[in-house]
Structure 1
Amino acid sequence: MIGITITVLFALVMFSMGCTMKLIKIWAHVKRPWGIAVGFLCQFGIMPLSAFVLSLAFDILPLQAIAVVIMGCCPGGNASNIVAYWIDGDMDLSVGMTSCSTLFALGMMPLCLFLYTKMWVDANAIVIPYSTIGIALVALIVPVCVGSFVNHKWPKPARIIAMVGSGIGGILILVMAVIGGVLYKGAWDIEPKMWLVGTLFPLFGYFFGFVLAYIANQSWSRCRTVCLETGMQNTQLCTTILQLSFKPEQIVYMYTFPLVYSIFQVAFAVIIVGGYLLYKRYIKKKDPTENKVDSMDGEINPALELDSKPSNGDVFE
């Protein structure tokens, strides 16, 4: 019942996020999917590899290592879309990356789990809930499409819906993190190195996501977006996989990690949002070019100095 409630609430929030999206921008990402391609590399390249390296570097127990790797192989979560709104990210790219990573997870998760868990467990023992992934995909795409239509027909009310929905979504993320910590407080008696892994792992995702997007010559807005999409994983899916794949006496060694990861990914996201808002308020300088036309959609971009960067022969934009 709780899972259904959370799915419905997030679907409503994603409807509000869809109210920030425009069909012309979505089509631009389809024609030139460089941002999505970078996100794919981060999601199914950097994250599983980081999970594997951290597990070996800290020499954690096999069951714990499996939990870490499963987390690294999961697609991005809806929370990244909400946070992307607050840092003026590319919402069309953010939702597109989440949708694509969830869709690609149907094939990439089995492949990544086979590659990175075979030294600890038979990959066939890990049950991937394809139905859960499918439901998550529908609960994401349908509300977003409806929200995009609302934005197309009634842009002014759509902006209000997006603002209210993003606030509710932010509160929902924080409440879920707190509830998870309170309900499973008995599981916090874990080794310090697991706390370190839970801290470093999302940090690696944020850092390498931003760096790879920068190297790929993406705009600042897209760099921020890819950063969030890489670091914020679908922790609920990881928890579901653990419950389906392992016995209760095994899960006691594994279940804590998704909670630790969830708390730290939210904590870092709050720091990113706070830092960005402070930057906008106190550091950002007015630029005479801020009313230039954004080449993506032909509209006035009031924050162009934050969302573009100089480049020579930019083949990605």
Structure 2
Amino acid sequence: MFKAILTALVYGYTIIIMLGMGASIDIDVPAEIKKSPKAILCGVASQYLFMPLITFGLICAFDLGDTEALSLMLCGMSPGGVTSTFFTYVSRANVTLSLLMTTCSTFLALGMMPLLIFVYVRPPLVDDNAPKMNYLAIVVTLIVATTPAVLGWRLRRTREGAGKATETWATRVGAVLLVAACVLALLGVPSAITPSAFAVMALMCPVGFLLGYGFAKVVIGADAKTARTVSMETGIQQVGIAGAIAIQTFKGQALDKAIATIAVFGIFTVAFGLLWSGILRFACAAPPEDEKAPEKPPFDDQSPVVITA
């Protein structure tokens, strides 16, 4: 019964929040991507390069057990979500760019997550007795997660009123399901989470934020707003997808512990997102002259953008 309810909540949250994310995108995604492929590629590469590598290194350094290691590795290789876009808005970064990066990383997850699992899920991360990853189940889970985003985007582009309404109710219902899933998960075995796992969770987001920011600055010479956006997209993951995959991987008490670990990491993500966006917002309280000037391409400031928290 516990697994059935938790599965329904996790999948329900993931599907509805992705539908809301898609319905919030009131831009022509292919056209906007063509305007600035370099910036978007930088963000997506940072997402799938740094976070899995950071997570792998921290797990090995703190010598986590198989269940915690796999749970956090799934989080580290998951794409960005609507949370990153919200914190991008709070930090005064480029919201349109964030939406595009989130969209691209979400659909690339269909190929990238199975590839990253193949690369990282092996010794020394886990031993030979660790739960085996079901690649077919992972792909099916990702399809289930990404399809609503496409439907939401098409609805917003073809029927704007219906798209706005969908975004509103999906955000509210998704938030309720997320809270319910976290509460149920934390009623599992949160006390069994080791101090080492808490240490890894406490380091993942901050290190991701800093490396994402530096990567954008060094590789493409990004301006401050673009670098802040890449930073948010790198350090914040869509934990709902990680939870859905965990349900297909773990059994019994291991599943309880995995979901509790992912739920706690989600709380860490929100906490550090608030902290980092506050730091960035304070840092750009008096923006330099080049940021006060009208933005140049890649993105047109007249493009309508809707924020989904």
Instruction: Report the TM-score range of the alignment, normalised by the length of the smaller protein.
Output: 0.7 to 0.9
Unaligned 5+ residue runs, structure 2? 1-7, 304-309
* Alignment of 1:265 onto 2:269: yes
AA matched with 2:61: A
Give how far 1:144 is off. Answer: 3.3
- Corresponding residue to 2:133 among 126, 136, 143: 126
Q: Which residue of structure 2 lines up, in the alignment, with residue 233 of structure 1? A: 237
Give how far 1:147 is off. Answer: 3.7
Question: Cα deviations across residues 198-249 of structure 1 (Å, max 9, x unaligned)?
Answer: 1111222222111111112122222121111111112112112222112213
Asked if structure 2 preserves the Cα contact closer than 8 Å seen for 1:55 and 1:65, the reply is yes
Distance 1:113 1:12, change over 3 A: closer
Distance 1:290 1:171, change over 3 A: farther
Q: Distance in 1 between matches of 2:290 and 2:241?
A: 46
Q: Distance in 1 between matches of 2:251 and 2:108?
A: 28
Q: Distance in 1 between matches of 2:59 and 2:22?
A: 37
SS at match of 1:18: coil
Q: Distance in 2 between matches of 1:16 and 1:86?
A: 20
Q: Which residue of structure 1 lines up, in the alignment, with residue 292 of structure 2? A: 290
* Alignment of 1:143 onto 2:148: no
Q: Which has the higher contact order (CA 8 A, sep 6+)?
A: 2
Distance 1:274 1:35, change over 3 A: same
Larger CA Rg, structure 1 vs 2: 1
Q: Which residue of structure 2 lines up, in the alignment, with residue 105 of structure 1? A: 109
Asked if structure 2 preserves the Cα contact closer than 8 Å seen for 1:83 and 1:170, the reply is no
Asked if structure 1 preserves the Cα contact closer than 8 Å seen for 2:19 and 2:151, the reply is no
Unaligned 5+ residue runs, structure 1? 302-317
* Alignment of 1:250 onto 2:254: yes
- Corresponding residue to 2:190 among 166, 188, 191: 188
Q: Cα RMSD (Å) of the superposition?
A: 3.7
Q: Distance in 1 between matches of 2:73 and 2:22?
A: 31
Distance 1:50 1:26, change over 3 A: same
- Corresponding residue to 2:225 among 218, 221, 225: 221
Asked if structure 1 preserves the Cα contact closer than 8 Å seen for 2:18 and 2:146, the reply is no
Greater shift, 5-14 or 258-267, is seen at: 5-14
Q: Distance in 2 between matches of 1:4 and 1:240?
A: 6
Structure 2 counterparts to residues 12-31 of structure 1, below 5 A: 13-14=20-21, 17-19=24-26, 21=27, 23=28, 27-31=31-35
Give how far 1:124 is off. Answer: 9.2
TM-score, structure 2 as length reference: 0.77
Give how far 1:277 is off. Answer: 4.4
Q: Distance in 2 between matches of 1:211 and 1:173?
A: 32
Distance 1:191 1:275, change over 3 A: same
Asked if structure 1 preserves the Cα contact closer than 8 Å seen for 2:35 and 2:297, the reply is no
Distance 1:297 1:54, change over 3 A: closer
Count matched residues. 289
Distance 1:214 1:133, change over 3 A: same
AA matched with 1:113: I
